[in-house]
Chain A
Amino acid sequence: MSVEKVREILSQHGRLSISVEQITNDGDLYKAGLTSLATVGLMLALEDHFNVEFPDSLLSRKTFGSIESILEAVAQLTK
C-alpha cells in the first residue's frame, strides 16, 4: 500500500476542487472540496484496488478527512 496510490485514486475519484499535489497528507480533504457523496466513489475505488471492504463503522466523515486517515483505514483493513 502506498501513499502515491491513495493520492492517485483520490485525484481520479475525489472530485476535489484543487489538485491533489497541493494537499499535504494531513490536509483537510473536505476543505479541498470533497463531499460526502464523492466519498462513495472514492471508497469503491479504494475497495477495488486494495481488495478490502469498508464496514459501516469506517464510513464516517473522519475516515475520509485526510490522506493520512484514509491510509490508516486501509492499513487497518489490510492487516
Chain B
Amino acid sequence: MTALPPNKLAAEFDQLLVRIHEIGRAVIAVAAEDVDQKARFPTESINALKEISLLSAYVPRDLGGMGLTVTEIAKICEVLGHYCGSTAMIFAMHQIQVACVVHHALESAYFRDYLKELVKKQLLMASATTEVGIGGDLRSSICAVETSGQAFKLTKKAPVISYGAAADDIMVTCRRSADAPASDQLHVLVRKDNYTLEPLSGWDTLGFRGTCSSGFVLTSSGSVEQILPTPFADILSQTMHPYAHMVWGALWLGIASDAVNRARAFVRAEARKNPSLPPVSSIRLAEVDTVLNNMRSNIAVAVQDYDKMRSANNPEAFNSFGFSIRTNNLKLSSSTLILDIVSRAMLICGIQGYRNDSKFSLGRHIRDAYGAAIMVNNDRIMLHNATMLLAHREG
C-alpha cells in the first residue's frame, strides 16, 4: 500500500470533496428534477462520478483504488445527498457491495483481479438480496446455487434490484446448495455478460425514484471462483448491515442538510425585509439546526465506532447483540430524524417549500425522506431489536 502522510491524505480528500461539490452543482443538481420526474436512472450523474474514479473510492490503493476509509465514504454520500437523493443512494449501495468484496474476498485472486477491473472500467455493482416468497429477511434464501465441477447456475426471483437494469455486475445471495437450509447462505458475484434480467415489476414510487429499483428474475451462470469465500452470515454482520446503515444515514443527512440550507436561505430572505426584527421563522431554524446536529453526531459516532472495530481486527465483536442493536438504532434514529428535519424545514419555508416550482421547494426531499423508514422497514428492525434486547444485558 502506498503510504502517504496523514496530512497529505487529508488535503487530498478535501480537494476531492471540492471536486464532488463542483460536479454536484454542475451536473447532479441539474439532472435531479428530471431524474425524479421521470423516475429514470441518473446516467449523467453516475458517469460524472466515474470520471473522477469515485466508484473505486473504497478499493485499496494497492489495487488501484483511492483506499478511502468508511468515514470518508460516508462524507461523500452526505455531499451527494445535498444534490440528488437517488444519485447518493445508488453511490451508497454500490459502495456497500464494494465493501463486501474488499472486507471478505481479498484473499481470492479472482476478486483481487475483479477489483482491479472495477477500478479500470468503473464498474457499477448492484445487489439482489430480497426474494419473492421471503420478502425483506436477508438471512433467508429460497434460491440455491447449483454447481457442477467449476461451473455454477443461479436463478433468483428478486422483487427489488436497485438500478438492476443499469448495473454492470450484481451480488446475489442464495443457499449454499439445493439441500441447504434457508439460512445457510452464500454471496455470489454475477457478471454482466453472464446474466439476464426478466422484468417482474416496475418502480413508480413516492421517492428515490431515480434508483429504478424494479423487480427482476435473474438468471445467471459463472465459475465457482465468483462465490465469495466467506459465508454470507459473516459478510452481513461484519460489513453489509453496519456499512449500509452508515452510508444510508450519511446520505439521508445530506438530504436533511440541504432541506435546512433551503430553510436558512428562506429565513435570511425574510430577515432582509425587516432587518431590525428577526422573523418568527428564525426560532424554528434554530430549533431544526439542533435536530440536524443530533443526526450528524449519531452518524459520526457510529462511523468512528465501526472504523475502530475494524482496526481492532476482532470479527467476533460484530456478532454481538450489542453491536447489532447499536447498528439498528442508528438506522431507526436517522430514518426518523430525516423526516422530522425535512418537515420542520417545510414549515419554515411555508408555501414556498410546498410548491414544486419554487427555489425553496422541498417536495423531493420530503418524498425521499419517507423512503428512509420504509427501506428495510423500521418495524421489522424494531422487532429484531426487541428480541435481541431480551438477551442483551448491558446497555
Interface residues of A (CB under 8 A from B): 16-18, 30-37, 39-40, 43-44, 53-56, 59-62
Contacts and interface: CB of A to CB of B under 8 A. Distances in A.
B316 A61 contact: yes
Nearest to B233: A30
A17 B182 contact: yes
A70 to B, nearest CB: 14
23 contacts: A16-B181, A17-B183, A18-B181, A30-B183, A30-B184, A31-B181, A31-B184, A32-B181, A33-B182, A33-B184, A34-B183, A35-B139, A35-B183, A36-B324, A37-B388, A40-B387, A40-B390, A40-B391, A56-B393, A59-B321, A59-B392, A60-B319, A60-B320
B392 to A, nearest CB: 7
Interface residue SS majority, chain A: loop
A54 B181 contact: no
Given A16-B181, A59-B392, 7 more contacts: A30-B233, A33-B184, A36-B237, A36-B319, A37-B388, A56-B394, A61-B316
B388 A40 contact: yes
Interface in B348-395: 384, 387-388, 390-394
A37 B182 contact: no
A51 B388 CA distance: 20
A42 to B, nearest CB: 10
Nearest to A54: B391
Contacts of B322: 56
Contacts of B394: 56
A19 to B, nearest CB: 12
